[in-house]
Amino acid sequence: MATAITHPNSLDDVVTLIHRLFQPGSPEELSRIQDILQEVQRSPEGWQLADHLLERQDQHVRFFGALTFTVKLNSDWESVSEDDVPVLCTRLIGWLVRVVNEGAPPLVIKKLCSTLVVFFVRFAESWPNCVRHVICCLAAGRAGLEREFVDMPPSSHLLGTMNPAAKLAALWFTTILVEEVGKVDTKNIKNHHYCVKIQDNEAEAVVLIKNAINMPNGAGNIPDSFDPRIVDGGLKAFQSWVLYSLRAFIDFRVEFPLLRTLTHTAIHWLASEDMFEAACDVVIDILSLSFSFLTAEDKLTLANILISPWAVERYELLLSGDTDWGSIQFARLLVTFAEATVQKLAKSLNTPPGRAMIEMLHGILNIPGYPQVEDEVSGSTFEFWSSLVEFLVDNEGEDDSDEPWIEDCHKEVKRAVEEFWKKIRIPNMQELQTWTKDQMEGFMSYRKDAADFVESAYGLLGPPLFLQLVDQVVNALAPGGSASWEEIEASLFCLNALSDLLGDEPYEDVYMERLFGSNVFSMLVDPGAEIPLKARTTSVNLIGSYAPFFERQPSYLPPALNFLFTCLSTPVLARNASRSISSLCSSCRSTLTGELSAFLRQYEIFAASPNADDLAKEKVLCAISYVIQALPSEEQKFSPISELMGYVEKDAGKSIVLLRQGQGQEEEAKETGLLALRCLVSIGKGLQAPDDLPVDLSEEEGPQPPSFWEASSGGSLQGKIINLVRMLCSTFNGDGEMVDAACAVFKTGFAETTPGLFVFPPERVTDFLLEHCARTETILSTAGTLISSHSTSSSADIVTQVLQLLQFIINLVLRIGDPQTEPEIAQSVADFMSRLLRRYAHVLCSYQPHAHLEALFVFTLDSLTVREAFVKKAAAAFWSAFLSLASPASDEIIAACGPTLATKLCWAIGGGCSRSEIEVLAEPLRKLVARQVRSKMWLTEALKPQGFPTENVGERDKRLFVEKIMTLRGKSGTNQVAKEFWLRARGTEFAYAS
């Protein structure tokens, strides 16, 4: 039985809890121990506790002692008097010196270094020469005040006499110093002084690092014996200081020039077997972040090293399949240097160094094994090749664009495309089954990156690249072709990547006719052919990607569609095939109307399959509906739509039967019912008129006769859809998901501008919405969309339905009261009201009883001050639109709501909102000031209460704010004034612009 966790009464009790914290235990126990120990650490006795814990020899206890000092520095640093600051500093350094002298493990030493850095962050002004102070104390073997060491020899001399443990501790402190200070918010100008203090310590840090990584016999001459720990510590310290200096230059334009004197030596440590990885990390970071940090001599040295016998040996080890981390790092170093020098390398391919470098880059692409499985290196080259292509494309049209090196570069890019093409081949099924999920995802990600590179290379290489890929497929499929389906698939995959780049150039169609006119489809549909599944999948995707070609060349459609419909019977291909069928039918709908009967038969066969994929069914129904939409008359559409409806009714009937049978089939019944509704949505979307249809501007005046879908057989079919929707929702007792799906059916008709099967009578839609108002957010969203669809002058007037929905909204608001309790609904209410204003503002403004209308407007005013940003944004958008109305009724409402609106906006802009919300909330403020002459009085009154909006703004600030806002009279500068006032109120600005 576990020992109860109680509050400690002695030092030994604390030590016991610390031991338990580092032992296995339940999450609850460990959390309880942490809470108790943190409480003890924060107690007034925490300072003394830290000393007592550091007295112990157990490393975990000592670590916790150093951690306790850190906790106190973070929580109680303001209680440390000015006189006690240097004493505390000496105390902390004393512990560092002691644990170093006693040979404590790195865990304890590094934690004390970290604690000293926290001390620096809290008292930077009192510890300006921290690096020198720590070096002196470690060299002297004792702690003391800074003034006690002023007469000690220079640090370069002290470091020569220090033992390795002390030197390593100094390096750790120096490294942690810049790493932790670098995490301080650099965007706040108040923290600029940290950068200055670090800069003041640069010289001492450079002396320390130089001592650690020095090569006594000159750069490039690695000592016969050296302490790897010291060199490693020095290189990592150098790396951290370089990274800090680069950020400091970006943020504050502060430079650290002395650091650059160390780069040359750091580069030469690459040649050391023991130090290679540490040196490699440093150099890669510099190359990646700031190539200009390197001097011309550094760049030349690095270039020579990367083509030296040492590098060749590394490179050959890499090509042999060596997966050691050092080999991977070497590849990264090579590629990063090549990317950083891409322009120079491009122009020097015919020189021995340039040729050696480019050949190594090609060699990396030929490392054996599948990428991200056995080969972890070739993926690192994408950035280089992409940068080379980008440079060459940008160079086109320049004065030297006809230079010989341009053609040389084109050849290298073409060669790289071929190498990537080889790397992306899919392995056989047996190989794939041995891969882990991560390996599979890595390989597929590599293929995507390769496709992106091929796409960019096409911008450089042009049509010959496309033709080459087509020929690779056609020649492989020709009699006697020797290429494997894995190679064919790789070519098709690359062709798929180019689909978005092609237009309607004649040569493009010639190439595609060569591809799609080959025997590719006859081979793909051959059930006896042993074709990898991935090759079929890629072919399916390819057809969908080239839908515009089939639209221009419809004679190639039949074999393509035949192949796609055949793929529907293969479950793993069904979804991709249905997407491509949908894409083709959308693009080629007019051409395919004669094939409707065949499509319907194909769908009948597919839908009857027990394994028919639901999403594929939706996609194919949408595809067939695209073709139906292209029929010349509404009467001709009736029969094929009725046939599609038969399939939907069949699913709906099956759903109800399953539900009545019960016996655990309720979930399947619901899914089948939802499928029926989603299929209706797909049919509705397919029947929508294309966006590119010409608009008939010759509108006939006067009442129009009922359309086909409002009378006779068309009307009965529309009624059948509505009844089916209502039946499913009723059968499943208003299930939320079912109502959501039903609303999606109604929404398909809202986008139409002419009568259609899915353009339902607004009264029928409204009745449904009010019947299922328990699904509030969906109902509100659908109601808003319904009103928007009837907000143009040419659409039917639905005042009756608007009043019904507005009554529902008001009842909802009266029930909720505070928008903060239901923020999602509050957003929907504001959105709904904004939609009303486009055509039905008079309905809103004249609503009775007046008390209910007042409650609605108060609700939207309160929405301006809720926590959730999306609610504030919706409410602000409503008020901006409402303030733009021009009518006596709206004037009356604004006069009544104006004082409260001004108060809400002043509260938010006065610090109550987040910074990202100011722009949104400034809009109604602009409209209010521009619209209402009394707005100055309202704003002045809103800012009067003492301490409002915060104590940070005084009477003068408030007066200036109102004067500036009123002077601008709603102009765009209002937003900037609002930002400045917010900054002042939050106390994050130093000077308020007057």
DSSP string for 327-376: HHHHHHHHHHHHHHTHHHHHTTTTSHHHHHHHHHHHHHTT-SS-BTTTB-
The pLDDT of 774-794, averaged and rounded, is 91
Name which of 626-640, 720-734, 967-981 the model is least confident about.
Answer: 967-981
In the 3-class helix/strand/coil scheme, how is 742-767 assigned residue by residue?
HHHHHHHHHCCCCCCCCCCCHHHHHH
* pLDDT at site 702: 45
Query: For residue 607, what pLDDT is reported?
Result: 92
Q: How confident is the model at residue 989 (pLDDT cuts 50, 70, 90)?
A: very low
Please give the model's pTM, rounded to 2 decimal places. Answer: 0.77
Contact between 825 and 780 (Cβ < 8 Å): yes
How far does Cα 745 stand from its chain's mean position?
A: 32
Top-ranked range on mean pLDDT: pick from 43-52, 470-479, 521-530, 820-829:
820-829
- pLDDT over 60 at 362, yes or no: yes
- In this prediction, residue 13 carries a pLDDT of 83
- 16-30, 178-192, 618-632, 709-723: range with lowest mean pLDDT: 178-192
Closest to 772 measured CA to CA, from 816, 817, 725: 725
The 10s digit of each residue's pLDDT in 829-878 is: 999 999 999 999 999 999 999 999 999 999 999 999 999 999 999 999 99
Residue type, 668: E
- Residue 983's SS3 state is helix
Task: In whole angstroms, give the CA distance from residue 901 to residue 924.
Answer: 9
Structure tokens given for 187: 């965007």
The percent of residues above 70 in pLDDT, for the chain, comes to 95
Q: Nearest CA to 66 among 128, 15, 109? A: 109
- Using the predicted structure, report yes or no on whether residue 707 has a pLDDT greater than 90: no
Model confidence band, residue 697 (pLDDT cutoffs 50, 70, 90): very low
What's the token pair of residue 193? 């002084």
**pLDDT on residue 219:** 64
Token pair, residue 347, equals 């122009």
Average pLDDT for residues 114-132, to the nearest whole number?
94
Give me the pLDDT at residue 991, please. Answer: 34
Q: Which of 513, 459, 453, 466 is nearest to 492 (CA)?
A: 466
Q: Does the pLDDT of residue 384 top 90, yes or no?
A: yes
Lowest pLDDT segment from 6-10, 314-318, 411-415, 878-882: 6-10
CA 957 – CA 237 distance, rounded (Å)? 48
Render pLDDT for 156-172 as a digit per residue (tens, 0 to 9).
999 999 999 999 999 99
- Average of per-residue pLDDT across 193-205: 93
For 891, the token pair is 């004037």
Q: How confident is the model at residue 5 (pLDDT cuts 50, 70, 90)?
A: confident
How confident is the model over 571-595, as a mean pLDDT? 93
Cis bond upstream, residue 949 (ω within 30): yes
Q: Provide the pLDDT confidence category of residue 695 given band limits of 50, 70 and 90.
A: very low
User: Is pLDDT at 990 greater than 50 in this prediction?
Assistant: no
Task: Write phi, then psi, for 886 (nearest 5 degrees).
Answer: -130, 95
Task: Count the Cβ atoms, other than its own, within 10 Å of residue 24.
Answer: 7
* Those residues with Cβ within 8 angstroms of residue 194's Cβ, 6 or more apart along the chain or in another chain: 121, 124, 181, 184
62: nearest Cα among 30, 98, 9: 98
CA distances from 734 to 672, 679, 723, 766 (A): 16, 19, 14, 16
Number of Cβ atoms within 10 Å of the Cβ of 240: 22
Least confident piece of the model among 232-236, 350-354, 688-692, 937-941: 688-692
Least confident piece of the model among 354-358, 794-798, 868-872, 958-962: 794-798
| C-alpha span between 133 and 130 (Å, rounded) | 5
3-state class (DSSP) for residue 491: helix
pLDDT beyond 80 at 191: no
- For tokens 């014996």, the residue is 225
Q: Whole-angstrom Cα distance, residue 66 to residue 87?
A: 17
- Cis peptide bond upstream of 849, omega within 30: yes
Q: For 900-924, give the DSSP string.
A: HHHHHHHHIIIIIS-GGGHHHHHHH
Residues 587/550, Cβ–Cβ less than 8 Å = yes
Backbone angles phi, psi at 375, to 5 degrees: -105, 110
- Tokens of residue 475, six digits: 């020649």
Q: Which of 864, 859, 854 is nearest to 924 (CA)?
A: 864
Q: Residue 249 pLDDT > 90, yes or no?
A: no
Residue 211 Cα distances to 155, 206, 228, 337, angstroms: 10, 8, 13, 27
Are the CB atoms for 299 and 353 separated by under 8 Å? Answer: no
Q: Is-contact 937 949, C-beta < 8 A?
A: no
**Contact (CB, 8 A) for 934 and 942:** no
Percent of the chain exceeding pLDDT 90 equals 69
| Angle (nearest 5°) at CA 238 between 234 and 239 | 120
Q: What is the pLDDT of residue 186?
A: 58
Computed from CA positions of residues 886, 888, 892, 895, in that sequence, does the dihedral angle turn out positive or negative?
positive
3-state SS string for 57-118:
CCHHHHHHHHHHHHHHHHHCHHHCCCCHHHHHHHHHHHHHHHHHHCCCCHHHHHHHHHHHHH
In degrees rounded to 5, what are phi and psi of residue 371? -60, 140
Q: Which range, 173-182, 210-219, 246-255, 514-523, has the best average confidence (pLDDT)?
A: 173-182
Task: State how far the Cα of 198 lies from the Cα of 972, in Å rounded to an integer.
Answer: 42
Q: Which amino acid is at 624?
A: I
Above 50 in pLDDT, residue 618?
A: yes
Average pLDDT, the chain: 90
Q: Token pair 């928007």 is at which residue?
A: 788
Predicted local confidence at residue 401, as pLDDT: 58
Closest alpha carbon to 388 in 439, 436, 338: 338
What was the pLDDT predicted at 704?
Answer: 62
Question: What is the distance between the alpha carbons of residues 939 and 936, in angstroms, rounded to a whole number?
Answer: 5
Tokens encoding 91: 């105390």
Tell me the mean pLDDT in the region 59-88: 91
Tell me if 382 sits within 8 A of 449, measured CB to CB: yes
